[in-house]
Amino acid sequence: MPSPRQLLSFLLPALLTLDASATIRYVDLNSPNPTPPYTNWPTAATNTQDAIDVANAGDQILVTNGVYNTGGRLVNGVSTTNRVAVTQAVTVQSVNGPAVTVIEGYQEPGTTNGPSAVRCVYLTSGAALIGFTITNGATTTGLYDSGGGLWLSDESIVSNCVVSGNSARYGGGGSFGGGFHETGKLVNCTITSNRANFYGGGAFQCKLAGCILVGNSAVTGGGSTGGTLTNCVLAGNSARNAGGGSYGERLYNCTIVGNSVTQTNPVPAGAGVLNATLAINCIVYFNGDSVGGNYWDAPMAYCCTTPANGGYGSLNNNITNAPLFVDLVNGDYHLQSNSPCINAGKNSYVSNSSDLDGSPRVVAGTVDIGAYEFQSANSVLSYAWAQQFGIPTDGSADFIDPDGDGMNNWQECIAGTDPTNSASVLKMFSSSTNAPGLRLSWQSVSGRTYFLERGTNLVTSPAFSLLKNNIAGQGGTTAYTDTTATNAGPYFYRVGVQ
């Protein structure tokens, strides 16, 4: 597994995006003349809390280089002290990024969590934290004292931060503290080497976008628990009982590799993913333990994983071929040029325009599986589909019709039909009366979703309008009854794949 330093390379110093209408307040650990309201560098505060306390909602607080490890504040009667309590809806941003700007909590020697522990940062609703290293934070052992590094409230955002070496009961690195709404968000962060005594070693009930979680640990959900993850990498995380990488989450375009479970009880453990709500467009591969494997109780679609139908809840259009990373040993999880994951995902589940690198998320028409999009695809076909039938992926065969059934390879790929068999083709059969209406049927494939359109006059424009969508395909034949076709017509129908 790669070291945390290798995986930090994608983080850039936080960009200064200042709002001209906001009051800017300044923080410098070595300020010679700290004077409220801290509106210039010569009078900058020597700690971030002082600047927050005099700020108004919408203000921006700039923090220059240093290790900020003194002071503390209790919030809302919760027993854990916070090194920085962002109690206003302000933006706290470092000048030069996480490599040189650190907020450090306190862990009790030998136990980490306890009555004198100090969390790094508390964020109120609407607050933002940009460009810091958040480290050495912890909480008391109270039931609701979670998030050793970060406590996020509704609509708070943490971006371009490194969250490392923190500890808590739930969410060692970060925890959303506003309930189960997952509105606290971490964006473009590296979350590494954090620990939870129970759930969510790296994060608990948070939205994560474009984040890397590596080397975190917990009893359950070593990487993350109970959140929604998009374009994230979870690598080398571990859990004692179950869910080495992820537990109880929604996962979109994530790469989940090399996670583990250490328990030896003979129960399904899900070294990569356990009890997922849904996993779409994800690579879940090379995870393992004595009883788990890549996943368990994890409904998946358009994922690269193995076994194809092991455990519980597998859906459709998954592939079992190895993902073919550029360098698995050294943690480069970009796709090789012949990876079956290229063009093998589902576009309708894509919510971000960029991948984990910040490069375009969809290239060559169809999203790739995993956190990284291959940027120079030659073919518009699903590489996994093309390789299955021995079709080249250099683009030369995309639009030819080798079996002469009237559909080229790209159309057969979309339809999920066999390009080497002229009898395997998306086509409608003759309609039949099925009172009160007409029964339409077509040759179909399990795992595809269809839409049906109808027209009554082919001269008009548009000639067709939507009759029904989201029709689940059946193996062999799928049928639908148009109950509104009750007069002489005429009626014209066509079917397509969503």
Q: Summarize pLDDT for 68-105 with one digit per residue, the tens.
A: 999 999 998 778 999 999 999 999 999 999 999 999 99
Structural domains of the chain, count: 3
Residue whose pair of structure tokens reads 């989201």 in the numeric block: 470
Q: Kindly tell me the burial class for residue 404, based on how many C-beta atoms sit within 10 Å of its own C-beta (0-12, 13-18, 19 or more).
A: exposed
DSSP letters spanning 439-480: EEEEEE-TT-EEEEEEES-TTSSS--EEEEEEEE--SEEEEE
Query: Is the distance from CB of 374 to CB of 326 less than 8 angstroms?
Result: no
Q: Is 345 a member of any domain?
A: no
387 close to 290: Cβ distance less than 8 angstroms: no
State which H helix or E strand residue 162 sits in.
strand 162-164
Q: Which of 192, 169, 164, 191 is nearest to 112 (CA)?
A: 169
What is the chain's pLDDT, residue by residue, as a tens digit (498 residues)?
444 334 444 444 444 556 667 899 999 999 999 999 999 999 999 999 999 999 999 999 999 999 999 999 999 877 899 999 999 999 999 999 999 999 999 999 999 999 999 999 999 999 999 999 999 999 998 766 899 999 999 889 999 999 999 999 999 998 875 443 456 899 999 999 999 999 999 999 999 999 999 999 999 999 999 999 999 999 999 999 999 999 999 999 999 999 999 876 656 688 999 999 899 999 999 998 555 689 988 899 999 999 876 444 456 789 999 999 999 999 999 999 999 999 999 999 999 999 999 999 999 999 999 999 999 999 999 999 999 999 999 999 999 999 999 999 999 999 999 999 999 999 999 999 988 999 999 999 988 999 999 999 999 999 999 999 999 999 999 999 999 999 988 999 999 998
Q: Are residue 281 and residue 386 in the same domain, yes or no?
A: no
- Kindly report the number of other CB atoms within 10 A of residue 69's CB atom: 17
> Phi/psi of residue 479, each to 5°?
-130, 155
User: Could you give the CA distance from residue 166 to residue 171 in angstroms, rounded to a whole number?
Assistant: 9
One-letter identity of residue 339 = S
**HSE of 80 in the Cβ direction (CA atoms, 13 Å)?**
36
DSSP state string for 86-119 = E-SS-EEEESS-TTTEEEE-B-BTTTB-STT-EE
Domain region containing 489: 432-497
Residue 342 lies inside a defined structural domain of this protein: no
Residue that has been written with the tokens 């390009």 in this structure:
419
Supply the CATH number for residue 21's domain: 2.160.20
- Name the β-bridge partners of 246: 224, 273
77 and 198 in a common domain: yes
Type and span of the H or E element at 81: strand 81-86
Contact between 355 and 373 under an 8 Å Cβ cutoff? The reply is yes
Check whether residue 68 and residue 104 sit in a common domain.
yes
* Furthest C-alpha separation in the chain: 89
- Measured CA to CA, the distance from residue 494 to residue 487 in angstroms comes to 19
389 plus 316 within the same structural domain: no
Domain end call among 422, 446, 475: 422
278 is a domain residue? yes
CA 442, distance to chain mean position in Å, is 36
| One domain, residues 409 and 305 | no
The angle subtended at Cα 42 by Cα 41 and Cα 46, nearest 5°, is 75
One domain, residues 97 and 183:
yes
Q: Is the same domain home to 29 and 55? A: yes
Spatial distance between the Cα atoms of 220 and 297, rounded to a whole number of angstroms: 15
Burial of 438 (0-12, 13-18, 19+ CB in 10 A): buried
Residues 11, 401: Cα–Cα separation, whole Å = 46
189 and 258, same domain (yes or no): yes
Tens-place pLDDT, residues 230-253: 999 999 999 999 999 999 999 999
Note whether 172 and 295 are same-domain residues.
yes
Residue 219 lies in a domain: yes
Q: Are 186 and 209 in contact (CB under 8 A)?
A: yes
For residues 488 and 402, state if they share a domain: no
Report helix, strand or coil for 198: strand
Q: What are phi and psi of 247, to 5 degrees?
A: -135, 125
Instruction: Find residue 214's DSSP bridge partners.
Output: 192, 235
Q: Which of 396, 422, 448 corresponds to the end of one domain?
A: 422
User: Are the beta carbons of 219 and 190 closer than 8 angstroms?
Assistant: no
Contact 194, 173 (CB under 8 A): yes
DSSP state string for 217-245? EEEE-SSEESSEEES-EEES-EEEEE-SS
